[in-house]
Amino acid sequence: MVKSLFSLGLILCLVSCGSNSKQPDVVFVAADSLNLIPYPQAIEKGEGYFKMNEEVNFFFSDEISSEGLDLINSFIDSKTNSIKPNIESKSNANTCHLILSNDFESLNNSPEAYEINVTNKDLTLTAKTINGLRYGIQTLKQMRAQTKSATESAYLLPAMKITDFPRFQHRGLLLDVCRHYFDIEVLLKYLESMEYFKMNVLHLHLTEDQGWRMPIDAYPLLNQISSWRLDTNGNQYGGFYSKDDLKYLVEFATDRNITIIPEIELPGHSQAALAAYPQFSCNGGPIEVVNDWGVFKEIYCAGNDSTFVFIENILTEVMEIFPSEYIHIGGDEAPKFRWEHCDKCQKRMLDEGLKDEHELQAYFIQRIESFLNENGRKLIGWDEILEGGLSPTAAVQSWRGMDGGKQAAETKHEVVMSPTSHCYLDYSLNSIDLEKIYSFDPIPVDLAEEYHQYIIGGECNMWTEHVPNEANLDSKVFPRMIGLAEALWSYPEERNFEDFYKRLQYHYPVLTDFGIDYGLETIGATITQEFRDSGVFIILNKNLSDLELKHSKRGGRHAEMLWEYEGPFPMLTQDLRVQAYKNDEPYGEEITQGFNVHQGVNKKVTYTTPWSDWYAGNGEKNLVDGKLGSIDFRDGNWQGFWGEDIDVTIDLGESQHFLGVSANFYQYANSWIFSPKRVTFQISTNGEEWKDKSVRTFNSIDLSNKKSIQKVSFGSDLMQGFYGRYIRLTVESIGKVPDGHEAAGQDSWLFIDEIIIQ
């Protein structure tokens, strides 16, 4: 530990013990160099330190006698048997005071606020609530872990005053245990780590198309059938928690100031439940538990009153286990195909005066909300519940960007922000790394200040379609969850990623103690370009300050070797390999990026239809930057168009000969990304008169879940090829996701990476 302190260049000093002039054999970290996460709102440096050893007394008032003892026991390191809590009946010197006071006031009046005063004589932890005391204890634990004496029988806490409180009241982690099942011990491990970093909500995703994880006594088939599926090898996969498991989980969480919000998906993402009870579907079955990922058309029948009885009985048992104010009902990605073809659902719409299936979904959710309200609970759902009219008292969790949350806040509904842009931990580090999640601010920049109060916080979402085991889960959640923990506790103007990254290094041993197999903070390097008059140059950016980069040499017989990066170099048509190193060891996997230097590189592109902000790629340069997209459509090289055709024109600057034009399109039906229906190529010398029109038509639509890249080329039979200045490519989308797909009727995506002109 001491070696690592010096390696990071922290301020170290030796101090005397109380009034004893002899210096003890200890290393002491100054108050302004503590590596706390989340970092406190304010720290005032004092003189000296307080020595925590077997002679320390503990004092707490009668109001918190039982909780106070629990808090003290949680603070004492179980590995250090020489320190025992000597409970005092009155406050003395050499004492740790735990004070619960109604007179305590924090700057934002948060019930989780606390204050720590450390002097040479005593330590005082003050808060208005027991939860404030709990968070003060976590801060003391982090201080203790970094200020140990050489004998391990005492802890040295620097003299200081800490004033601390969270910016947001909701600081959460969503954990999906449906796509892949994780034992109760994994959940307990996560709750311990969340407490340590002051997260206070575990959003537990308990039901899905692929599995049902909670027992419901009234409907035993939910565990006999819905909790199990066949994996790709034909083997049975699944599991579920007992009610005793869940009760213990709730108690364990409550002792750590963590609320567990259960999610019971409806009306969509319900195929596992309908496999066991198909009478509550629109077509009556038979239905199977899904063993693949995506959005599926089986949905609860909104025209059948018995469906609501079924759901209400389930929610009654859910509320018996989970005391949370909010019950999450999902409400996202609910295809309307079954409702559109269901006589009962159509009759319901007619009887209730509903103009479309979106209003039918609003009716469904409002009916469930009324039931929850009658039982003293509130409803929270994904931002799709805004469609057709928002329920009167519902809260919204915004995942499709920030707009849904903004809309809900402006109508005075509480909002939890977890947009895919910053908060999805199942996304690769290419898309969302530690620095990006650390930069997250749940308050939309264009939200009027009067509505800020309705943004109650945020969550990072861990969906587990592609997370088959605990080690993989750990590597995706950590350390990124810790970045969000500080982002939701602190204010943007107070944050500094470089400082956070250095503090984080001291917490990795703690994660190891929790049994967490944490992953990397980021990918090692980002490849960017500089567009000059003399050509396009490649720039390698190391994504952490303590990394070094090596890359493949440009061409020649040494192309397979890695060389030290010394600065920008010209872009060539070839694959570039980059490897980052930390402390002379490889950091992450080698990065490979394909390039193609062609006649259209760095030319002007005019877009008739705009790209989606969700998949902007390299913006207006994306189709002419020379970078080729990989099989990972989130690699930053693909440009996406949502529900739109593509119509672009490239200006070569002057008329010239070229042999042909090609473009790559992405195909992945599982994410609603489809190859185009038709691609049209035209050229012009003046931008007004077009010739050499050529069309490529795709007569079949691939509905499989295979990822592929489809190349479309236009060439000339003439030796000199084409001649012109302007090249226009119009790409017609298939439109709506076609019948035969589970998301039939939804808008589809078009993805393109580069228009290559040779």
680-705 per-position pLDDT tens digit: 999 999 999 999 899 999 888 998 88
Same domain, 179 and 122: no
Same domain, 231 and 325: yes
Q: Please say if the pLDDT value at position 720 is more than 90.
A: no
Q: Please say if the pLDDT value at position 35 is more than 80.
A: yes
Question: Which residue among 513, 548, 581 closes a domain?
Answer: 513
- The per-residue pLDDT for 58 is 76
Question: Which residue among 546, 569, 594 closes a domain?
Answer: 594
List pLDDT tens digits, range 113-171: 999 999 988 889 999 888 999 999 999 888 877 765 545 556 678 899 999 999 999 99
Q: Please say if the pLDDT value at position 40 is more than 50.
A: yes
| CATH classification at residue 682 | 2.60.120.1190
Same domain, 53 and 190: no
Residue at 157 is within a domain: yes
Q: Please say if the pLDDT value at position 486 is more than 70.
A: yes
Q: What is the largest CA-CA distance in the chain?
A: 99
Sign of CA dihedral 8, 12, 17, 22: positive
Sign of CA dihedral 364, 370, 375, 376: positive
Domain range for 30: 2-164
| CATH classification at residue 133 | 3.30.379.10
Same domain, 351 and 379: yes
Same domain, 569 and 467: no
> By C-alpha distance, which of 502, 505, 399, 397 is closest to 455?
397
- The per-residue pLDDT for 14 is 25
Q: How far is CA 586 from the centre of its chain?
A: 26
Least confident of 10-14, 409-413, 718-722: 10-14
Residue at 122 is within a domain: yes
Show the CA angle centred on residue 447, arms to residues 443 and 451, nearest 5°: 85
- The per-residue pLDDT for 1 is 29
Report the distance separating Cα 619 and Cα 610, nearest Å: 10
Same domain, 575 and 545: yes
- The per-residue pLDDT for 382 is 95
**313: helix, strand or coil:** helix
- Residue 557: pLDDT band (50, 70, 90) is low
Residue at 642 is within a domain: yes
Region 295-303: mean pLDDT is 93
- The per-residue pLDDT for 153 is 58
Give the whole-number percent of the chain exceeding pLDDT 90: 72
- The per-residue pLDDT for 576 is 93
- Residue 27: pLDDT band (50, 70, 90) is very low
**252: helix, strand or coil:** helix
Same domain, 53 and 137: yes
Region 27-56: mean pLDDT is 80
- For the residues of 629-696, what is the DSSP string, one character each? P-S-TTSS--EEEES--EEEEEEEEEEEEESEEEEEEEEBGGGTB---SEEEEEEESSSSS-EEEEEE
Residue at 309 is within a domain: yes
Q: Which tokens sit at 292?
A: 């693949």
Report the distance separating Cα 345 and Cα 360, nearest Å: 8
Return the beta strands (E) in 54-112 as ranges.
57-60, 86-87, 95-100
- Residue 315: pLDDT band (50, 70, 90) is very high
Q: Please say if the pLDDT value at position 84 is more than 80.
A: no
Residue 553 buriedness (CB in 10 A; 0-12 / 13-18 / 19+): middle
Mean pLDDT rounded to a whole number for the chain: 88
- The per-residue pLDDT for 17 is 30
Same domain, 107 and 225: no
Q: Please say if the pLDDT value at position 260 is more than 60.
A: yes
Report the distance separating Cα 420 and Cα 431, nearest Å: 10
Region 602-627: mean pLDDT is 94
- The per-residue pLDDT for 699 is 84
Residue at 455 is within a domain: yes
Show the CA angle centred on residue 413, arms to residues 128 and 113, nearest 5°: 15
Task: Give, rounded to a whole angstrom, the gap between the first and last alpha carbons of the chain.
Answer: 58
For 470, the enclosing helix (H) or strand (E) is helix 470-477
Same domain, 649 and 706: yes
Q: Please say if the pLDDT value at position 25 is more than 80.
A: no
Domain count, the chain: 4
List pLDDT tens digits, range 564-580: 999 999 999 999 999 99
Residue 148, phi-psi category: left (phi > 0), alpha (psi -120 to 50), beta (remainder): beta
Report the distance separating Cα 349 and Cα 340, nearest Å: 10
Q: Please say if the pLDDT value at position 511 is more than 90.
A: yes
Same domain, 329 and 204: yes
> What does the H/E/C string look like for 362-377?
HHHHHHHHHHHHHCCC
Query: 391-419 b/e with 16+ CB inside 10 Å = b?
Result: beebbbbbbbbbebbbbbbeeebbbbbbb
Of 56 and 398, the structure prediction assigns the larger pLDDT to 398
Same domain, 118 and 225: no
Residue at 599 is within a domain: no
Residue at 698 is within a domain: yes
- The per-residue pLDDT for 154 is 66
* Cβ partners under 8 Å of residue 663, min gap 6: 679, 711, 712, 729, 731, 752, 753, 754, 755, 756
Residue at 520 is within a domain: no
- Residue 679: pLDDT band (50, 70, 90) is very high
Residue 18 buriedness (CB in 10 A; 0-12 / 13-18 / 19+): middle
Question: Which residue among 594, 621, 651 closes a domain?
Answer: 594
Q: Please say if the pLDDT value at position 32 is more than 70.
A: no
- Residue 290: pLDDT band (50, 70, 90) is very high
For 121, the enclosing helix (H) or strand (E) is none
- The per-residue pLDDT for 560 is 67
Amino acid in the structure at residue 258: I
> By C-alpha distance, which of 594, 592, 597 is closest to 531?
597
Region 81-93: mean pLDDT is 53
Region 627-634: mean pLDDT is 93
Same domain, 107 and 182: no
